[in-house]
Amino acid sequence: MTGGGRRAADGSPRPVVLDAMGGDHGPAETVAGALRAQRQHGVPVTLVGRADAIDAELRRHGAAGRVEVLHADEVVPMTERGAGAAALPGTSLMAGCELARRKGAAFVSAGSTGAVVTAAVRTFGRREGVLRPALAVALPTPAGATVLIDAGGTADPTAEMLARFALLGAGYARDVLGVSDPSVGLLSIGSEGGKGNRLVRRAGRLLPAMPVRFHGNVEGHDVLAGTVDVVVTDGFTGNVVLKNIEGCVRTTLGLVAGAGIADPGRLDEIGRLYTADTHGGAALLGLTGTAVVAHGSSASAAIARACRVASDLSAGGDVVSGHLAAGTVT
């Protein structure tokens, strides 16, 4: 099965545009990831960055000339948190976003989350009614999947932004995961209404008036339990939750494997459901274009998966949904 993606006028699939310089490992992993995306998933990729470094990696893999390359001199450092990224048009990040806007299916970067969000918003623009875009990750649960939103896009949103995140998350669950009437929960320290900090309490008063099926407050243990289809939170908390889940799954399965009470192969299969190699990254929702933010430490498998997710999202998410369904925890 190959990736979908938007198509050019001649019917050929438009490429996913990949920031080759983004992430902790730069071209060493992004170039390998692009090749894996094309070979394993059938997703065409265009690499953007320093052409000499990219070409050297392509030659190392015996793949010179197999991937389209757009040269960009400058690199946004991983320490850049926001507006500075959009002030540098010659960077791989800004050049990649612009190329994706003009003729790509989607944009992917493992660079600084704040910088990627800023550049994508500046280039694609927000959809009507969106106050701030949000990062969504679909996490496998016993019942299917739960969308965690925001997973790191906005650390200090307003209550109004959280309420709009609920709309974005519900749309993702419906259009990508195939949930006909997704339920939405607000992450808090207690399930009772009125629990939580000032932001959560204010958002909890706004959400009942939103056109979503609002379940009410949910707690941390509900995220993977399938209690609701969408868990809404701020980007700071959501990013902590996501990384805590990844670490807890890895540690717990390691302890079980060490105790010799389960098949190691099956444990590895379950563990992989919660790694970047599988979920690929977070979809940046609320823009007029498609963008996926991969983990900064992504290796080639995670980069390839992020490209696949981006291609599928641009085509309506059919393969993403099928992948998660196949990976349901049992």
Q: What is the pLDDT of residues 266-290, one digit of tens each?
A: 777 777 666 666 666 899 999 999 9
Residue 305 has phi, psi (to 5 degrees) of -65, -40
The verdict on domain 1-125+287-316 having CATH code 3.40.718.10 is yes
Q: How far is the first Cα of the chain from the last one, in angstroms, to the nearest whole number?
A: 24
- Exposed, middle or buried, 79 (CB in 10 Å: 0-12/13-18/19+)? exposed
For the chain, the farthest-separated pair of C-alpha atoms sits apart, in whole angstroms, at 60
Model pLDDT, residue 163: 95
CATH fold of the domain at 130-278: Isopropylmalate Dehydrogenase (3.40.718)
Q: What is the DSSP letter of 287?
A: B
Model pLDDT, residue 183: 97
Give the residues of the chain that fall short of pLDDT 50: 1-4, 317-330
Domain boundaries, given as residue ranges, for the chain: 1-125+287-316, 130-278
Q: What is the pTM of this model?
A: 0.84
Cα 194 to Cα 148, 184, 236, 246, 302: the distances in Å are 21, 16, 21, 29, 39
